[in-house]
Structure 1
């Protein structure tokens, strides 16, 4: 009888542990951090993840445009937070500061919306090259 109880207890413990472990692991896992690999071409900076000027980084999924924009913001000395490819509130705030600087100091007319789109990409690539 003891053996059956012990076996049942062990099986239950293993099953609960298996079910509970992934949830606990997921809640303690840090965001993936990417490493930026900068290069320069034609007076513009690139970080090795996205080379275009039209993709808009997503605020809820990892994108190569998100990683690229975060890397360039960091190189330009605007802190986007963790380079994780998800363009969250810290990355958007850094982008708004960058857009404000470009409008005020260099005469750009970029919407100050925290979005790295077709108006912001060229300015960000240029500024990240010359102000690293």
Structure 2
């Protein structure tokens, strides 16, 4: 997959804001996500979740987690993990499968997002750690 430039990502974010109420990747019904279910122990693929992003009071939401504080787990499925993966994927960051486990692909996508936010503002706004936490969630949810 070719790398998307910061300018292309900013353009996508602006287009997202212009569209307003709903973007889909793919447009399918919501699947209920567990708050915390174990990841597969025997290497069996984790369940893939669908992503439909909605504008809820000016904030992006996929319907799995509505808060701004939980850091997703890299070892088990969490609602916060699904939510962050959905938002990143819709914005054009390659998270891999949306499975709720915030692994290496999701962390790399989040690091790129955090770097892009810092570049956009021309200063360090977010710590580039690859994890959506209390500092990064508001920027993930923001419609640009």
Instruction: Report the TM range for the smaller structure's normalisation.
Output: 0.7 to 0.9
User: Which structure has more helix as a fraction of its residues?
Assistant: 1
Structure with larger Rg: 1
Deviation string, structure 1 residues 74-129 (Cα, Å, up to 9, x no partner): 01111111000000000000000000000111245110000100111000111xx3
TM-score, normalised by the number of residues in structure 1: 0.73
Q: Partner of 1:31 in structure 2?
A: 46
| Aligned twin of 1:124 | 140
Give the alignment's TM-score, normalised by structure 2.
0.67
Gaps of 5+ in 1: 1-25
The number of residue pairs the alignment matches comes to 102
Task: Find the counterpart in structure 1 of residue 107 from structure 2.
Answer: 92
- Bigger proportion of residues as strand: 2
Structure 2 unaligned regions, length at least 5: 1-41
Q: CA RMSD in A?
A: 1.3
Runs (4+) off by over 3 Å: none
In 2: Cα distance, 1:57 partner to 1:30 partner: 18
